[in-house]
Amino acid sequence: MVGVGSTSQVVKLSSPSLGIVIKLPFHALAPDLIKFEHEAQVLRRLDRHPGIVKWGFSSHSFPTSVDS
């Protein structure tokens, strides 16, 4: 898994071997979490269409913070 980029909204991770990109919310910024949820809501509305990038929800939870 390698990082392919991040914005203030999300972190994108790419796994070339699996052929997937995972977009994770950047939980440190609450408004951006809302934006991430918005994208998920829009994708749900668009359902499956051949012209929309193929997507799904990951089946795992992700760490949101790290203590040191």
Partner 1 sequence: MGVANESPMDGLVFEEALGGNLQKYILAHHGNILPIQRHRWCAQAAQTLAYCHKRGVLHCDLRPENFLLDEHLDLLMCDFGGSSLEGHFEGLGLPDYGFFDPTCGDPFTVTAGTEIFGLGSVMFFIMAGALPYESQFAQKANDVQDYAIAFAQKLRQHKWAEVEGPMASIIQGCWTREFASVEEVVLAMARRRLVLHESYHCLDSVPT
Interface residue list for partner 1 (CB under 8 A): 9-10, 14-16, 19-25, 27, 33-43, 45-47, 49-68
CB of residue 6 vs partner 1: minimum separation in angstroms? 13
Q: CB of 46 within 8 A of CB of 52?
A: yes
CB of residue 63 vs partner 1: minimum separation in angstroms? 4
CB of residue 29 vs partner 1: minimum separation in angstroms? 13
Task: List C-alpha distances in Å: 23 to 26, 29, 60, 67, 68.
Answer: 9, 15, 13, 22, 25
